[in-house]
């Protein structure tokens, strides 16, 4: 084995596909420094010592004010991608159609809008890897790569 190789280190993001009546909930990002003005599913970073499903339920409560039981989450898609700063990331997407509460913009300082979109008519101004993950999930694929060049 080549002793000069380094192991990849990934930032891990958790993302939630809330789906109801063939529509998906998206937030328009703002004031975050990443993809501001673009639509994306609710989500955020995995915290140290946190499970993926615990992170998703935390993010759902923080961002859209809903309570989701971990057992109501289904793994949907994993997307390896590179952010504009060149950092390697792994986006872990989970889906659900079960939650308590009415989704709202619970973090207006990080999102300028919240809305439901038909799964077959996603907005043009959407975070690229998020769009890809949704489209790949709908096509039955559980893994993709985005912007790795």
pLDDT of residue 2: 61
How would you class 66 by CB atoms within 10 Å of its CB: exposed for 0-12, middle for 13-18, buried for 19 or more? buried
For 75, the domain range is: 27-146
Q: Is residue 6 part of a domain?
A: no
Query: Residue 39 sits in a domain of what CATH number?
Result: 3.90.79.10
pLDDT digits (tens, 9 = 90+) for 91-130: 999 999 999 999 999 999 999 999 999 999 999 999 999 9
Report the domain count for the chain: 1
Q: Is 0.75 topped by the overall pTM?
A: yes
Q: Is residue 136 part of a domain?
A: yes
Q: Is residue 138 part of a domain?
A: yes
Name the pLDDT band for 4 (thresholds 50, 70, 90): confident
**CA quadruple 86, 144, 60, 38: dihedral, nearest 10:** 60
Q: Is residue 64 part of a domain?
A: yes
Q: Is residue 19 part of a domain?
A: no
Q: Is residue 20 part of a domain?
A: no
pLDDT of residue 1: 52
% the chain with pLDDT above 70: 98
Q: Is residue 14 part of a domain?
A: no
Mean pLDDT of 9-27: 96
Q: Is residue 107 part of a domain?
A: yes
Question: If you count them, how many residues does the chain have?
Answer: 149
């Amino acid at each position: 084995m080549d002793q000069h190789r380094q192991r990849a280190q990934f930032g891990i993001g958790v993302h939630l596909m809330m789906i109801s009546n063939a529509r998906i909930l998206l937030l328009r990002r703002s004031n975050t420094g990443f993809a501001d003005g673009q639509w994306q599913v609710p989500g955020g970073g995995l915290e140290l010592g946190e499970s993926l499903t615990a992170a998703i339920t935390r993010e759902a409560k923080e961002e859209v004010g809903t309570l989701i039981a971990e057992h109501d989450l289904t793994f949907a898609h994993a997307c390896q991608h590179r952010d504009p700063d060149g950092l390697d990331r792994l986006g872990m997407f989970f889906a659900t159609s079960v939650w308590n509460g009415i989704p709202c913009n619970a973090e207006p300082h990080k999102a300028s809008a919240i809305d439901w979109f038909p799964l077959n008519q996603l907005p043009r101004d959407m975070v690229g890897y998020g769009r890809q993950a949704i489209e790949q999930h709908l096509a039955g694929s559980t893994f993709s790569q985005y912007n790795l060049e």
